[in-house]
């Protein structure tokens, strides 16, 4: 009798284990239906960022996001956004006096920190005494992060897109290779020459290229970098002036990004911003860069 009970319990436990495993797979599959999360399962960022015409819109946090209560270009700000929605982040690397790469949009400290003057006049050790401010100028408890720490933090969580500031390209390329970060770092480039420089040294890295005009598009077409390695910034909106460029990029499998940071993000009320965001979404961007990614996500979800 005891042997039968033991056998019965063993069968039941085995069945429960199988059911739980299947349920877990179903839940995981449902989660990954959101294209913004697929970077976590793809080995190649090219597969995640490729334009497929499925109507999906990815969200990029401009300067990492400037959500209320959180500073731009801060790990705490990135994590706050990721706690609410899937996103990747455009960030701003700059050099300290002793050549440490940190995140800071401005060349000066005054607007975003408790410090004063040029960032390049301070060593990394000196910068650690300052605190970051949020978008309203309120002092937070958060500190200026190094790019190295941000890249390490981002692995398995998101992608960080490094804008081009004052850091030499050779330093950026060397750091990415040292940290084996090719799959979770993207590089913003302004010219075809810059795109080729990074591609020659890190062939698998994704590039955020400028393709706002026919001239910029043609330069990219001639630089020899595969289209699959690119997303393209086409301007603050999609209109009659750049529609042909957008259509051409789509035929190459390239997602087109707009930025509402200098335009609609600056409107005073959330309702004004919501209406403006809806108008932009109707124009068909594949990626929207914003200071307030949570509001973009809310609008996309409502649509």
136-163 pLDDT, tens digit per residue, is 999 999 999 999 999 999 999 999 999 9
Residue 199's contacts (CB-CB under 8 Å, 6 or more residues apart) are: 205, 207, 224, 225, 226, 229
Shared domain check, 140 and 12 = no
Shared domain check, 114 and 94 = yes
What is the three-state SS of the chain?
A: CHHHHHHHHHHHHHHHHHHHHHHHHHHHHHHCCCHHHHHHCCCCHHHHHECCCCCCCEEEEHHHCCCCCCCCCCHHHHHHHHCCCCCEEEECEEECCCCCEEECCCCECCCCECCCCEHHHCCHHHHCCCCEECCCCCECCCCCCEHHHHHHHHCCCCCEEECCCCCCHHHHHHHHHHHCCCCCEEEEECCHHHHHHHHHHCCCCEEEEECCCHHHHHHHHHCCCCHHHEEEEEECCCCCCCHHHHHHHHHCCECEEEECCCCHHHCCCHHHHHHHHHHHHCCCCCEEEECCHHHHHHHHHHC
Tokens of 149: 């720490």
Shared domain check, 59 and 26 = no
Radius of gyration of the chain (CA): 22
Shared domain check, 130 and 117 = yes
Shared domain check, 145 and 8 = no
Nearest-5° Cα angle at 230, 29 to 254: 70
Q: What is the pLDDT of residue 5?
A: 53
pTM, rounded to two decimals: 0.86
Q: How far is Cα 64 from Cα 16, in angstroms, rounded to an integer?
A: 43
Q: What is the pLDDT of residue 46?
A: 94
Shared domain check, 82 and 16 = no
CATH number, domain containing residue 165: 3.20.20.190
Q: What is the pLDDT of residue 41?
A: 65
Q: How far is Cα 228 from Cα 204, in angstroms, rounded to an integer?
A: 10
Shared domain check, 18 and 153 = no
Tokens of 102: 């940190």
Q: What is the pLDDT of residue 103?
A: 98
Shared domain check, 18 and 52 = no
CB count, 10 Å around CB of 10?
10
Shared domain check, 140 and 176 = yes
Shared domain check, 106 and 172 = yes
| Domain ranges, residue 1 | 1-31
Shared domain check, 14 and 153 = no
Per the CB < 8 A criterion, the answer to whether 256 and 239 are in contact is no
Q: What is the pLDDT of residue 196?
A: 98
Shared domain check, 111 and 238 = yes
34-77 pLDDT, tens digit per residue, is 444 456 566 689 999 999 999 999 999 999 999 999 999 999 99
Q: What is the pLDDT of residue 40?
A: 59
Mean pLDDT of all residues belonging to the chain? 89
Closest by Cα among 252, 300, 251, 239 to 56: 300
- Stretches where the chain sits below pLDDT 70 are 1-43
Q: How far is Cα 179 from Cα 187, in angstroms, rounded to an integer?
A: 15
Closest by Cα among 177, 126, 142 to 67: 142
Tally the domains of the chain: 2
Q: What is the pLDDT of residue 42?
A: 61
């Amino acid at each position: 009798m005891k042997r039968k009970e033991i056998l019965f319990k063993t069968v039941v436990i085995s069945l429960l284990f199988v059911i739980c495993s299947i349920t877990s797979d179903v839940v995981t599959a449902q989660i990954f239906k959101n294209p913004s999360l697929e970077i976590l399962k793809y080995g190649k960022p090219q597969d995640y960022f490729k334009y497929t015409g499925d109507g999906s819109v990815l969200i990029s946090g401009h300067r990492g996001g400037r959500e209320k209560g959180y500073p731009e270009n801060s790990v705490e700000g990135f994590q706050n956004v990721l706690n609410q929605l899937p996103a990747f982040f455009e960030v701003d690397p700059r050099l300290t006096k002793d050549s440490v790469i940190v995140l800071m949009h401005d060349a000066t400290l005054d607007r975003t920190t408790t410090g004063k003057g040029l960032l390049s006049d301070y060593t990394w050790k000196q910068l650690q005494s300052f605190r970051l401010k949020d978008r309203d100028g309120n002092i937070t408890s958060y500190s200026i992060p190094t790019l190295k720490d941000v890249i390490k933090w981002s692995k398995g969580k998101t992608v960080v897109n490094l804008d081009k500031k004052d850091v030499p390209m050779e330093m950026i390329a060397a750091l990415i290779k040292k940290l084996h970060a090719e799959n979770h770092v993207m590089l913003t480039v302004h010219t075809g020459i810059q795109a080729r420089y990074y591609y020659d040294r890190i062939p698998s890295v994704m590039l955020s290229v400028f393709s706002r005009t026919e001239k910029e598009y043609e330069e990219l077409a001639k630089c020899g970098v595969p289209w699959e390695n690119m997303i393209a910034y086409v301007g603050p909106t999609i209109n009659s002036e750049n529609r042909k460029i957008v259509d051409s990029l789509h035929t190459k499998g390239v997602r087109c990004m707009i930025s509402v940071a200098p335009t609609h993000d600056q409107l005073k009320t959330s309702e004004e911003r919501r209406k403006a965001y809806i108008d932009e979404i109707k124009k068909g961007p594949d990626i929207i860069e914003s200071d307030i990614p949570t509001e973009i996500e809310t609008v996309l979800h409502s649509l």
